[in-house]
Structure 1
Amino acid sequence: MTALAAAPTRAAHHAAHRLSFAHLLRSEAIKVLTLRSTWWSLGITAALSIGVALMIAAAAADYDGFAAVNVVLMPTQFTMLVAGILGAIVVTGEYSTGMIRSTLTAQPRRGAVLLSKAVVVSLVMAATTVVTYAAAILLTAPLLTTGIDWSDPAQSTVPLLFGVLSMVVFTLLGLGFGFVIRAGAGAIAATVGVLFVLPIVVSLFTFGGPNWQWMVDLGAYLPASAASDLTTPGAEIGANLVTLLAWAAGPLLLGWVALRSRDA
């Protein structure tokens, strides 16, 4: 009986070592792209982005001082929540169904599991954002008297690239919280709290006078603020880029620690 019980264990052990990272990426891509929640999230992201861009373009049509690229980028303050929620439910959905145990049995290297999920959701969100931006640019162009100046990267491609990066970071932030909290409601609440609630709370301290200015200054280091600054044409890049990337790395690192230290 001992030999019979040990045989499947050894077989699973050898199968795990034969599972390459490319195979793991393929597996995660299948899981993510076959979820209805993924397509609902991506569809809502695209619809919000394009719809709000059209409204902004119509309102700003006769305003000469408005940068045309902002029409495409300003809806990010709404779509960032959907991106973060998508990252959270990709993980918490596996915990709620118990599929995470099958994933970790097939690939015991938990860091590889986290990395593969991060790569897949990043590529999915990046591709969706690029397509959405392209659609928004085409649809809003007839409404604007002055279009995007593509000859100046600082006024066109650079803010748009940072917009794509911002959406990826928001998704990874939710993914990290998903691994840490494991419960859908909790991970979504944490994600919405960081992306939406904290900026509002910090802004309230503007009424506190000089004694609370330090709290207002901390607001510049929130992910939404860093993303907003990065996507503003001609804005400072260095500190904002570091801040944004740190908000992606921090939750993922915490998620990796939680994944390694707790049973599935």
Structure 2
Amino acid sequence: MTLLAVERIKLFTTRSPWWCTLIALVLTIGFGALMAGTSDEAIAPLNVAATQFGYGFGLVVVMVMATLAITTEYRFSTIRATFLAVPNRPSTLVAKATVVAVLAAVVGEIAAFGSWGIAGAIKPNVDLAINTAYEWRAVAGVGLVYALSAVVAVAVGVLIRHSAGAIAVLLIWNQLVEPLVQLIPRVGDDIHKWMPFNIANKLVTGNPDPTTRDVLQGPPPSDAVLGPWPAIGVFAAFAAVLLGIAIVVANRRDA
């Protein structure tokens, strides 16, 4: 508990988590409001999925926040003092990943329900009730995806240690590698179905999707072959393995 308290204090006494949290909330809720304000009931009726249009933008910002939480310690060499005070490096890094993941989950839930709420306020006559399992996952599932993605970001930050490099790797993978891998002839689509962030998105966009929405309404549907809950389980395992690798590497090299 002491380690968790220390990591919480270190996280909230720097500016980057506050700014990233604000930006993530403004982006996701802002896009929710934009989707509600521009929706046309005759062409593309507003639905629960559409309110989460900004989900991916908020995810990027949350991963940047999680990366900075560890890489700034390497940049200013405060990680050395941390490891001197607590020689058990795995405990320290797990505590940091836990605190960052909890913050990411809270941001994700506020962003998701905030987007849904503001859309309902803008279009009070539209039925945006959360009734089905799919609709609950589309909104409440955002926090879980954000939390696990934050763990992935912390692990990458530990491995690379430089803010710009770690952020570049995460953004290039999430925004370029996974979408563009589908362009590989014959095997691209099969590979894409097992890409980690595509698998994670299955929880939020996975079947059954009763809205039969256009792909431009809300986050792009995942084509992962697993069901929503097995998919997020695989992504959680991926995050855990990557964090484990990062801990082993951190134990073997100088801070």
What's the TM-score bracket when you normalise by the shorter of the two chains?
A: 0.7 to 0.9
User: How many angstroms apart in 2 are the aligned matches of 1:149 and 1:107?
Assistant: 48
Structure 1 residue 101 and structure 2 residue 71: aligned?
no
TM alignment of 1:98-247, pairs within 5 A = 98-144=77-123, 145-152=125-132, 154-205=133-184, 212-232=185-205, 234-235=207-208, 236-247=227-238
Counterpart among 16, 24, 28 of residue 49 in structure 1: 28
Structure of greater Rg:
1
Q: CA deviation at 1:239?
A: 4.1
**Helix, strand or coil: the match of 1:213?**
coil
Match of 2:222 in 1: none
TM-score after normalising by structure 2: 0.85
- Aligned partner of 1:81: which letter? V
Between 53-62 and 191-200, the greater mean CA deviation after superposition: 53-62
> Could you say which residue in structure 2 is the equivalent of 1:80?
59
| Alignment-derived partner of residue 251 in structure 1 | 242
- Tell me by how many angstroms 1:122 deviates: 0.9
**Partner Cα distance (1:168, 1:66) in 2:** 31
> Aligned equivalents of 2:201 and 2:40: distance in 1?
22
* Mapped contact 2:36–2:46 kept (Cα < 8 A): no
Q: Tell me the SS of whatever aligns to 1:231.
A: helix
Shift of 1:61: 4.3
- Equivalent in the alignment of 1:92: 71
Q: TM-score, normalised by structure 1?
A: 0.82
For residues 16-31 of structure 1, what are the structure 2 equivalents within 5 Å?
22-31=1-10
What is the distance in 2 between the residues matched to 1:119 and 1:238? Answer: 21
Task: Quote the Cα distance in structure 2 between the aligned partners of 1:226 and 1:64.
Answer: 30
Shift of 1:30: 0.5
Cα pair 1:49 1:136 within 8 Å, conserved? yes
State how far apart, in whole Å, the 1-side matches of 2:127 and 2:93 are: 41
The 8 Å contact of residues 77 and 224 in structure 1, kept in 2 or not, is answered as no
SS at match of 2:187: helix
Unaligned runs of 5+ in 1: 1-21, 206-211
What residue identity is the alignment partner of 2:53?
M
CA-based RMSD of the aligned residues comes to: 2.0
Over residues 140-179 of structure 1, what are the superposed CA-to-partner deviations in whole Å (9 max), with x where a residue is unaligned? 1033443333333x14323323211111122111110001
Cα distance in structure 2, aligned partners of 1:196 and 1:150: 29
| Aligned-partner Cα distance in 2 for 1:238–1:131 | 21
The ranges of structure 1 where at least 4 consecutive aligned residues each deviate by more than 3 angstroms after the TM superposition are 63-67, 142-145
Which letter maps to 2:128?
A: I
Structure 1 distance, partners of 2:164, 2:198, is 24
Tell me: CA distance 1:224–1:128, structure 2 relative to 1, closer, same or farther (3 Å): same
User: 2: distance between equivalents of 1:64 and 1:224?
Assistant: 30
Q: Would you say how many aligned residue pairs link Structure 1 and Structure 2?
A: 236
Matched residue of 2:254: which SS? coil
Unaligned runs of 5+ in 2: 209-226
Q: Distance in 2 between matches of 1:98 and 1:184?
A: 13
Cα deviation, 1:4-50, whole Å, max 9, x if unaligned, reads: xxxxxxxxxxxxxxxxxx11100000010111011111111001001
Whether the 8 Å contact between 2:179 and 2:192 is mirrored in structure 1 is no
State the distance in 2 between where 1:63 and 1:218 align.
37
- Displacement of 1:60 after TM fit? 3.0
- The amino acid of 1:72's aligned partner reads T
Query: Quick one: structure 1 residues 200 and 175, their matched pair in 2 at CA, closer, same or farther if it must change by over 3 Å?
Result: same
